[in-house]
Structure 1
Amino acid sequence: MQRILFGNHPTQMRGIVASIDDRRYEASFAPLDAVDLARFDLVVPLRVEQIAAARAGRTVVPDDRSVALCDDKLAFNLWLIDAGFGDTVPTLLDTRPTVFPYIRKTRRGDFGHGCRMIRHPGDDDGDDHPDVFRQRAVAGADEYVLHLLRIGDTIRFHVAYRYDMGQPLGVRGAIDRPASITPADPGDALPICTAILDALDYQGTCCFNYKREEGALRILECNPRFGGSLVGVVSEYLDAHLAAL
């Protein structure tokens, strides 16, 4: 029996308990900065703010630079453009766009918090705060997530899912929930996202959210953490992570 310590998370903990192979893994949850991490075979942070504390335990997590870059949606978009991946980035807009629809985002936040779809003139309150930016909306009811674990120079684990949002301009998160979630073939998203992680020399777990536009990949964000839809295959993820150590 291998002991796995996860960071606390209000929604993911229940799913992990329900999904994990408890014949092989003993799951615990705790604030990672308040526990002796040496007692566990693997430490898995579930939130970005838990990553720094997790480094004291047995795990592979992204460094501070990678976390800061990916956690800042605007900075990550700009990095993609500078690094030669600009064709995957929906067009960044100025503070007074005249083309609709577009999405207004805060630079940090998850589960759709800080994101608002602007469909018509007058829908935007014109907030010019430096933590807010605007970006062309990618229409389509299907949104995808690709979970990746990179350790060394190798992808050790990956799995993709399709979210049917039931509407072309949904903002997945607390307000707009998917009608269904099904496994997906990532296709060219896998080599492209792998190349992005190679360019970053990213280590650890992340998840890319993306859409397809006439078949072309459009990356919405990259979260430098364990993603929610990974809970259903958590044992396979743990197998891969432990094997790489």
Structure 2
Amino acid sequence: MKELNYNIKFIDKKRYLLAKKSSTKTILFLYTKYGWDKALNNKIKDYEAFFYIFGSIDPKCFDFIVPLTIEAEEYIATHRNLFPKKSYSIPSKFCINTCNNKRKFYNYLAKNGFVEYFPKINSNFDYPYLLRKEIGVNGKNIYIIENQNMEMAYKAKFASKNYFTQEYIHGQDEYTAHIISTNNKIIFFKVLKFTFQEKYFIKGKKYCFNSKKEINHNEYKPIFEDILSTMNYEGICCFNYKVINKSIKIFEINPRPGRTLKYFINEALASYVDSIVEY
């Protein structure tokens, strides 16, 4: 039996040994900052779950590896020799870099014939419109520009090469599609609808949604599959988008698990493990 390496809590070591004794599969969740363990606490079935910052524990001790952050994915991509081949599924470095940068992702969509599914950028927009940073999470560094005074207030950001402007898509409903893709096929697809009270909002920490529910958006699944297959995307991701006149407008793709995946975590893990074992 493999022994756990350094920086392992005593209570985790006990759980690990019990899991091995009972032939329960172990999953190591790798992340950057604390918080995911609380989000998934007591939700995971069929596996014994462990949560550690990447680089702090020997991954070869575990049956499966799930990177929860982009930094963890990049760590695996750079140190593949440390990880058993059939223990994880991650996007390529190209996919991570392209998807993590909102402007690069837009340019990729435009180049590959998907521009109709993305809001316009860097044009002369009516108010309101968005000023957003190329790279960001949880709605940070995105601003709703409603008038000329706000344009003056964010003058430095407008001049920065790290920011771009984007068309504001109206509507109180925003959607998150949680996806697992392998061999250019989507094998896991769950969508949540978030409804907001505010007329103008940015999904994230600043604005709280009024309601949340799972919905069937299988009609849009082929679009996401086509986008992911053009870049040979492997692993977990999530799309944020709105629907206007039965057409989707994608704000971003996160090349990592979205936090609301916790509502489907056991179904997702089953598909994730299948993608590793069967393909």
TM-score with structure 2 length normalisation? 0.83
Q: Which residue of 1 aligns with 2:233?
A: 202
CA contact (8 A) 1:209 1:219 kept: yes
Provide the C-alpha distance between the structure 2 equivalents of 1:65 and 1:239, rounded to a whole number of angstroms: 26
C-alpha distance after superposition, 1:89-137 (max 9, x if no partner): 111124xx45111011000011001111112222122221111000010
Q: Which runs of 5+ in 1 are unaligned?
A: none
Is 1:231 paired with 2:262? yes
Provide the C-alpha distance between the structure 2 equivalents of 1:220 and 1:7, rounded to a whole number of angstroms: 26
Provide the C-alpha distance between the structure 1 equivalents of 2:230 and 2:176, rounded to a whole number of angstroms: 20
CA contact (8 A) 1:207 1:224 kept: yes
Higher CA-based Rg: 2
Instruction: Give the secondary structure class of the aligned counterpart of 1:51.
Output: helix
CA contact (8 A) 2:125 2:167 kept: no
Q: Which residue of 2 aligns with 1:142?
A: 173
- Distance verdict in 2 for CA 1:168–1:225, change over 3 Å: same
Is 1:111 paired with 2:142? no
Structure in which a larger fraction of residues adopt helix: 2
Q: Which residue of 2 aligns with 1:46?
A: 68
Equivalent residues in 2 for 1:130-209, closer than 5 Å: 130-209=161-240
- For 1:78, give the aligned amino acid: N
Instruction: Give the secondary structure class of the aligned counterpart of 2:233.
Output: coil
CA contact (8 A) 1:143 1:164 kept: yes
Q: Which runs of 5+ in 2 are unaligned?
A: 1-23
Identical-residue share of aligned pairs (%) = 25
Provide the C-alpha distance between the structure 1 equivalents of 2:183 and 2:142, rounded to a whole number of angstroms: 34
Q: 1:6 aligns with which of 19, 29, 33?
A: 29
Provide the C-alpha distance between the structure 1 equivalents of 2:201 and 2:224, rounded to a whole number of angstroms: 23
Equivalent residues in 2 for 1:48-63, closer than 5 Å: 48-55=70-77, 56=80, 57=83, 58-63=87-92
Provide the C-alpha distance between the structure 1 equivalents of 2:214 and 2:35, rounded to a whole number of angstroms: 21
CA displacement at 1:185 relative to structure 2: 1.3
CA contact (8 A) 1:107 1:132 kept: yes
CA RMSD of aligned residues (A): 1.4
| Relative contact order higher in (CA < 8 Å, ≥ 6 apart) | 1
Q: 2:40 aligns with which of 16, 28, 40?
A: 16
Provide the C-alpha distance between the structure 1 equivalents of 2:134 and 2:125, rounded to a whole number of angstroms: 21
- For 1:25, give the aligned amino acid: Y
CA contact (8 A) 1:102 1:136 kept: yes
TM-score with structure 1 length normalisation? 0.94
Q: Which moved more, 1:231-240 or 1:2-11?
A: 2-11
CA contact (8 A) 1:164 1:180 kept: yes
In the alignment of these two chains, the number of paired residues is 241
Is 1:222 paired with 2:253? yes
CA contact (8 A) 1:157 1:240 kept: yes
